[in-house]
Amino acid sequence: MNKQYTITTLGSHSALQILKGAHDESFKTLVVALKKHVSFYQRFSFIDEIISVNAFSEFPEIEKKLKDKKIIVIPHGSFVAYLGMEGNKKMTLSYFGNKKVLDFEFDRVKQGEWLKKSGINTPKEFKNINDVEFPVIIKSYGAAGGKGYFLVNNQKDFINKIKLFRNKKFVIQQYIIGVPLYIHYFYSPLTKTLEILSMDRRYETNVDALGRILFNVDPSYVVVGNSPLVLRESMLPEAYEMGEKVVKKSQELINRQGLFGPFCLETIITPDQKFYVIEISARIVAGTNLFIEGSPYADLLYNEPMSTGRRIAREIKNSIKENRLKEILD
Protein backbone atom coordinates (compact mmCIF):
# COMPACT_ATOMS: atom_id res chain seq x y z
CA MET A 1 0.00 0.00 0.00
CA ASN A 2 2.85 2.37 0.85
CA LYS A 3 4.30 1.87 -2.62
CA GLN A 4 1.51 4.07 -3.99
CA TYR A 5 3.20 7.03 -2.31
CA THR A 6 6.54 8.59 -3.17
CA ILE A 7 8.47 10.37 -0.45
CA THR A 8 10.35 13.32 -1.87
CA THR A 9 12.85 15.88 -0.65
CA LEU A 10 15.58 18.24 -1.84
CA GLY A 11 19.04 16.69 -2.21
CA SER A 12 20.97 18.16 0.72
CA HIS A 13 20.93 18.55 4.53
CA SER A 14 19.29 15.27 5.74
CA ALA A 15 17.93 13.91 2.45
CA LEU A 16 19.84 10.62 2.67
CA GLN A 17 18.46 9.90 6.14
CA ILE A 18 14.89 10.82 5.11
CA LEU A 19 14.95 8.72 1.94
CA LYS A 20 16.61 5.70 3.55
CA GLY A 21 13.97 5.86 6.29
CA ALA A 22 11.20 6.06 3.68
CA HIS A 23 12.63 3.09 1.78
CA ASP A 24 12.91 1.05 5.01
CA GLU A 25 9.20 1.73 5.60
CA SER A 26 8.42 0.52 2.01
CA PHE A 27 7.74 3.85 0.29
CA LYS A 28 8.99 4.84 -3.14
CA THR A 29 11.62 7.60 -2.96
CA LEU A 30 12.51 10.57 -5.14
CA VAL A 31 15.17 13.24 -4.70
CA VAL A 32 15.34 16.61 -6.44
CA ALA A 33 19.08 17.18 -6.78
CA LEU A 34 21.39 19.78 -8.28
CA LYS A 35 22.77 18.61 -11.61
CA LYS A 36 26.30 18.47 -10.17
CA HIS A 37 25.12 16.15 -7.37
CA VAL A 38 23.14 13.64 -9.45
CA SER A 39 25.99 11.14 -9.68
CA PHE A 40 26.44 11.40 -5.91
CA TYR A 41 22.80 10.49 -5.19
CA GLN A 42 22.99 7.66 -7.75
CA ARG A 43 25.31 5.84 -5.35
CA PHE A 44 22.44 5.01 -3.01
CA SER A 45 20.19 2.07 -3.84
CA PHE A 46 17.35 3.29 -1.61
CA ILE A 47 16.71 6.22 -3.97
CA ASP A 48 14.29 5.17 -6.73
CA GLU A 49 14.22 8.33 -8.80
CA ILE A 50 16.32 11.49 -9.23
CA ILE A 51 15.13 14.73 -10.80
CA SER A 52 17.93 17.07 -11.75
CA VAL A 53 17.73 20.88 -11.47
CA ASN A 54 20.19 23.70 -12.05
CA ALA A 55 19.07 25.45 -8.85
CA PHE A 56 16.61 24.56 -6.07
CA SER A 57 14.65 27.68 -7.01
CA GLU A 58 13.34 25.63 -9.98
CA PHE A 59 11.28 23.57 -7.52
CA PRO A 60 7.91 25.20 -8.41
CA GLU A 61 8.42 24.04 -12.04
CA ILE A 62 9.17 20.50 -10.90
CA GLU A 63 6.03 20.52 -8.76
CA LYS A 64 3.88 20.90 -11.85
CA LYS A 65 5.44 17.78 -13.36
CA LEU A 66 4.85 15.80 -10.19
CA LYS A 67 1.27 16.74 -9.50
CA ASP A 68 -0.17 13.49 -10.93
CA LYS A 69 1.99 11.31 -8.70
CA LYS A 70 1.15 10.68 -5.06
CA ILE A 71 4.00 12.72 -3.64
CA ILE A 72 4.66 13.55 -0.01
CA VAL A 73 7.32 16.24 0.50
CA ILE A 74 9.42 16.12 3.66
CA PRO A 75 10.90 19.56 4.48
CA HIS A 76 14.35 19.94 6.05
CA GLY A 77 16.81 22.79 6.73
CA SER A 78 17.41 23.52 3.04
CA PHE A 79 13.75 24.28 2.35
CA VAL A 80 13.69 27.59 4.19
CA ALA A 81 17.32 28.34 3.25
CA TYR A 82 16.79 27.87 -0.51
CA LEU A 83 13.04 28.32 -1.16
CA GLY A 84 12.32 30.95 1.52
CA MET A 85 9.35 30.91 3.84
CA GLU A 86 6.99 32.03 1.08
CA GLY A 87 8.29 29.28 -1.22
CA ASN A 88 7.44 26.73 1.45
CA LYS A 89 3.98 28.11 2.01
CA LYS A 90 3.18 28.18 -1.69
CA MET A 91 4.11 24.55 -2.21
CA THR A 92 1.19 22.74 -3.79
CA LEU A 93 2.37 19.16 -3.27
CA SER A 94 1.43 17.44 -0.01
CA TYR A 95 3.80 18.67 2.69
CA PHE A 96 4.50 16.77 5.91
CA GLY A 97 3.94 19.19 8.79
CA ASN A 98 1.92 22.27 9.68
CA LYS A 99 2.88 25.28 7.54
CA LYS A 100 1.30 27.71 10.04
CA VAL A 101 4.21 26.94 12.37
CA LEU A 102 6.59 28.58 9.86
CA ASP A 103 5.39 32.09 10.79
CA PHE A 104 6.10 31.46 14.45
CA GLU A 105 9.49 30.03 13.70
CA PHE A 106 10.80 32.63 11.28
CA ASP A 107 9.72 35.73 13.21
CA ARG A 108 12.10 35.82 16.16
CA VAL A 109 9.75 37.92 18.27
CA LYS A 110 6.85 35.50 17.76
CA GLN A 111 9.19 32.58 18.38
CA GLY A 112 10.44 34.15 21.60
CA GLU A 113 6.87 34.66 22.81
CA TRP A 114 5.95 31.08 21.99
CA LEU A 115 8.90 29.73 23.98
CA LYS A 116 8.37 32.09 26.92
CA LYS A 117 4.65 31.46 27.11
CA SER A 118 5.37 27.73 27.11
CA GLY A 119 6.88 28.22 30.54
CA ILE A 120 10.40 27.03 29.67
CA ASN A 121 13.58 28.88 30.56
CA THR A 122 14.84 31.23 27.84
CA PRO A 123 17.63 33.86 27.75
CA LYS A 124 16.57 37.43 28.53
CA GLU A 125 15.85 39.59 25.50
CA PHE A 126 16.50 43.35 25.38
CA LYS A 127 14.54 45.85 23.32
CA ASN A 128 16.35 49.01 24.34
CA ILE A 129 20.13 49.63 24.08
CA ASN A 130 20.15 51.33 27.48
CA ASP A 131 18.77 48.25 29.22
CA VAL A 132 21.32 45.80 27.84
CA GLU A 133 23.27 43.72 30.36
CA PHE A 134 26.45 42.49 28.65
CA PRO A 135 27.49 40.07 27.21
CA VAL A 136 24.73 39.72 24.60
CA ILE A 137 24.39 38.06 21.21
CA ILE A 138 22.75 39.90 18.29
CA LYS A 139 20.87 37.57 15.93
CA SER A 140 19.27 38.47 12.61
CA TYR A 141 16.01 36.90 11.42
CA GLY A 142 16.12 33.70 9.43
CA ALA A 143 19.84 33.23 10.11
CA ALA A 144 20.75 29.59 9.60
CA GLY A 145 23.62 27.46 10.72
CA GLY A 146 24.83 30.19 13.12
CA LYS A 147 25.79 32.70 10.39
CA GLY A 148 25.16 36.38 11.05
CA TYR A 149 25.46 36.31 14.86
CA PHE A 150 27.59 38.72 16.88
CA LEU A 151 28.78 38.51 20.45
CA VAL A 152 28.93 41.92 22.08
CA ASN A 153 30.76 42.66 25.33
CA ASN A 154 30.26 46.38 25.96
CA GLN A 155 28.44 49.53 24.86
CA LYS A 156 31.18 50.68 22.42
CA ASP A 157 31.30 47.29 20.74
CA PHE A 158 27.51 47.31 20.61
CA ILE A 159 27.32 50.66 18.79
CA ASN A 160 29.82 49.41 16.18
CA LYS A 161 28.23 46.04 15.55
CA ILE A 162 24.64 47.23 15.48
CA LYS A 163 25.54 49.23 12.35
CA LEU A 164 25.81 45.94 10.49
CA PHE A 165 22.12 45.35 11.18
CA ARG A 166 20.85 48.56 9.64
CA ASN A 167 17.56 47.86 7.79
CA LYS A 168 17.59 44.31 9.09
CA LYS A 169 15.42 42.73 11.74
CA PHE A 170 17.26 41.31 14.73
CA VAL A 171 16.96 40.38 18.41
CA ILE A 172 19.35 41.07 21.29
CA GLN A 173 19.69 38.09 23.62
CA GLN A 174 21.50 37.51 26.89
CA TYR A 175 24.64 35.47 26.09
CA ILE A 176 24.60 32.15 27.95
CA ILE A 177 27.89 30.42 28.72
CA GLY A 178 27.53 26.66 28.78
CA VAL A 179 27.25 23.52 26.65
CA PRO A 180 25.09 23.77 23.51
CA LEU A 181 22.84 20.71 23.51
CA TYR A 182 20.36 20.16 20.69
CA ILE A 183 17.49 17.82 21.58
CA HIS A 184 15.74 15.98 18.72
CA TYR A 185 12.06 15.35 19.42
CA PHE A 186 9.20 13.75 17.53
CA TYR A 187 5.58 14.46 18.40
CA SER A 188 2.98 12.05 17.02
CA PRO A 189 -0.43 13.62 16.41
CA LEU A 190 -1.80 10.09 15.90
CA THR A 191 -0.92 8.80 19.37
CA LYS A 192 -0.47 12.22 21.00
CA THR A 193 2.89 11.23 22.43
CA LEU A 194 6.28 12.88 22.46
CA GLU A 195 9.52 10.99 21.89
CA ILE A 196 13.15 12.07 22.27
CA LEU A 197 14.90 10.27 19.44
CA SER A 198 18.43 11.64 19.86
CA MET A 199 20.56 14.66 20.74
CA ASP A 200 23.75 16.28 19.56
CA ARG A 201 26.31 18.90 20.45
CA ARG A 202 27.23 21.27 17.67
CA TYR A 203 30.78 22.03 16.72
CA GLU A 204 31.01 25.67 15.66
CA THR A 205 33.87 27.58 14.17
CA ASN A 206 35.63 29.46 15.48
CA VAL A 207 33.93 29.73 18.87
CA ASP A 208 34.68 26.09 19.73
CA ALA A 209 38.35 26.54 18.82
CA LEU A 210 39.02 29.60 20.96
CA GLY A 211 40.55 27.56 23.76
CA ARG A 212 43.48 26.93 21.40
CA ILE A 213 44.67 30.53 21.25
CA LEU A 214 45.54 33.30 23.66
CA PHE A 215 44.64 36.50 21.84
CA ASN A 216 41.30 38.24 21.38
CA VAL A 217 39.16 37.42 18.32
CA ASP A 218 35.48 37.86 17.60
CA PRO A 219 33.88 34.44 17.84
CA SER A 220 31.78 33.12 14.94
CA TYR A 221 29.08 30.47 15.24
CA VAL A 222 29.03 28.82 11.82
CA VAL A 223 28.29 25.14 12.33
CA VAL A 224 30.82 22.74 10.80
CA GLY A 225 29.67 19.48 12.35
CA ASN A 226 27.84 17.69 15.11
CA SER A 227 28.91 15.24 17.77
CA PRO A 228 26.81 12.79 19.76
CA LEU A 229 26.14 13.31 23.42
CA VAL A 230 24.06 11.65 26.11
CA LEU A 231 22.56 13.69 28.89
CA ARG A 232 22.77 13.03 32.64
CA GLU A 233 19.76 10.79 33.19
CA SER A 234 18.52 13.02 36.01
CA MET A 235 18.11 15.84 33.46
CA LEU A 236 16.18 13.73 30.95
CA PRO A 237 12.72 14.13 32.54
CA GLU A 238 13.08 17.90 32.20
CA ALA A 239 14.11 17.53 28.56
CA TYR A 240 10.83 15.64 27.97
CA GLU A 241 8.81 18.24 29.91
CA MET A 242 10.24 21.11 27.86
CA GLY A 243 9.21 19.40 24.60
CA GLU A 244 5.73 18.71 25.92
CA LYS A 245 5.23 22.31 27.04
CA VAL A 246 6.24 23.69 23.64
CA VAL A 247 3.86 21.32 21.80
CA LYS A 248 0.97 22.14 24.14
CA LYS A 249 1.45 25.89 23.79
CA SER A 250 1.64 25.62 19.98
CA GLN A 251 -1.84 24.07 19.96
CA GLU A 252 -3.20 27.16 21.73
CA LEU A 253 -1.09 29.79 20.00
CA ILE A 254 -0.79 28.62 16.38
CA ASN A 255 -3.82 26.46 15.67
CA ARG A 256 -5.45 23.28 16.90
CA GLN A 257 -2.98 21.06 15.04
CA GLY A 258 0.00 22.94 16.46
CA LEU A 259 3.54 21.64 16.14
CA PHE A 260 3.95 17.97 15.20
CA GLY A 261 6.51 15.67 13.62
CA PRO A 262 10.22 16.25 14.20
CA PHE A 263 11.49 19.37 15.96
CA CYS A 264 14.52 20.44 17.93
CA LEU A 265 14.98 22.54 21.04
CA GLU A 266 18.36 24.21 20.90
CA THR A 267 19.53 24.63 24.47
CA ILE A 268 22.56 25.81 26.39
CA ILE A 269 23.18 24.13 29.74
CA THR A 270 24.87 26.17 32.46
CA PRO A 271 26.98 24.77 35.34
CA ASP A 272 23.96 24.89 37.66
CA GLN A 273 22.31 22.36 35.29
CA LYS A 274 19.79 24.81 33.96
CA PHE A 275 18.54 24.56 30.39
CA TYR A 276 18.24 27.82 28.45
CA VAL A 277 16.27 27.30 25.23
CA ILE A 278 17.81 29.62 22.63
CA GLU A 279 15.82 28.53 19.61
CA ILE A 280 13.34 26.03 18.19
CA SER A 281 13.59 24.37 14.78
CA ALA A 282 10.23 23.03 13.70
CA ARG A 283 11.56 20.29 11.43
CA ILE A 284 14.24 17.61 11.13
CA VAL A 285 17.67 19.07 12.03
CA ALA A 286 21.00 18.02 10.56
CA GLY A 287 22.33 16.73 13.90
CA THR A 288 19.98 13.74 13.50
CA ASN A 289 22.28 12.52 10.69
CA LEU A 290 24.50 11.07 13.40
CA PHE A 291 21.78 8.54 14.15
CA ILE A 292 20.75 6.90 10.87
CA GLU A 293 21.24 3.59 12.70
CA GLY A 294 19.30 4.88 15.71
CA SER A 295 20.54 6.38 18.99
CA PRO A 296 20.64 5.17 22.60
CA TYR A 297 17.38 7.07 23.17
CA ALA A 298 15.63 5.66 20.09
CA ASP A 299 16.78 2.20 21.16
CA LEU A 300 14.91 2.58 24.45
CA LEU A 301 11.69 3.19 22.51
CA TYR A 302 12.09 0.92 19.46
CA ASN A 303 13.63 -2.52 19.11
CA GLU A 304 14.89 -1.64 15.66
CA PRO A 305 17.09 1.12 14.22
CA MET A 306 14.87 4.23 14.26
CA SER A 307 16.26 7.44 12.81
CA THR A 308 14.21 10.64 12.72
CA GLY A 309 13.89 10.16 8.95
CA ARG A 310 12.50 6.67 9.42
CA ARG A 311 10.21 7.87 12.23
CA ILE A 312 8.63 10.38 9.83
CA ALA A 313 7.96 7.59 7.31
CA ARG A 314 6.57 5.38 10.10
CA GLU A 315 4.11 8.14 11.08
CA ILE A 316 2.98 8.46 7.47
CA LYS A 317 2.59 4.68 7.24
CA ASN A 318 0.54 4.55 10.45
CA SER A 319 -1.65 7.41 9.30
CA ILE A 320 -2.36 5.60 6.01
CA LYS A 321 -3.33 2.47 7.95
CA GLU A 322 -5.68 4.47 10.16
CA ASN A 323 -7.05 6.46 7.22
CA ARG A 324 -5.79 9.70 8.80
CA LEU A 325 -3.17 10.80 6.27
CA LYS A 326 -4.90 14.17 5.71
CA GLU A 327 -4.31 15.14 9.34
CA ILE A 328 -0.53 15.17 8.96
CA LEU A 329 -0.23 16.84 5.55
CA ASP A 330 -0.54 20.52 4.65
| Contact set with ligand AMP (CB under 6 A) | 12-13, 77-78, 81, 123, 137, 144-146, 149, 173, 175-176, 180, 202, 204, 221, 223, 226, 266, 268, 278-279, 286-287
Q: Give which of 270, 275, 276 is closest to 177, Cα–Cα.
A: 270
CA distances from 149 to 87, 124, 275, 306 (A): 25, 16, 21, 34
Our CB check for ligand AMP shows the closer of 70 and 110 to be 110
The sheet with strand 6-10 has its strands ordered as 49-53, 28-34, 6-10, 71-73, 94-95
The string of DSSP letters for 169-230 reads: -EEEEEPPPSEEEEEEEEEETTTTEEEEEEEEEEEEEEGGGGGG--S-----EEEEEEEE--
Residue 269 is given by DSSP the state E
Question: Cβ closer to ligand AMP: 231 or 328?
Answer: 231
Minimum distance of ligand AMP from residue 112's CB (angstroms): 11
The minimum distance between CB 264 and ligand AMP, in angstroms, equals 9
- Residue 233 or 272 having the CB closest to ligand AMP: 272
* Cβ-based nearer residue to ligand AMP, 207 or 328: 207
Q: Which is nearer to ligand AMP, 140 or 188 (CB)?
A: 140
- CB 214, min distance to ligand AMP, A: 21
In the bound complex, which residue of the shown chain has the CB atom lying closest to ligand AMP? 145
Q: How far is CA 265 from CA 99, 134, 268, 282, 325, in A?
A: 18, 24, 10, 9, 26
Smallest gap from Cβ 267 to ligand AMP, in A, equals 9
CB of 318 to ligand AMP, least distance (A): 28
Choice between 183 and 278, CB closer to ligand AMP: 278
Given a contact cutoff of 8 angstroms between Cβ atoms, the answer to whether 184 and 285 are in contact is yes
Q: How far is the CB of 278 from ligand AMP (least distance, A)?
A: 4
Q: Find, among 267, 286, 116, the residue nearest to 178 by Cα.
A: 267
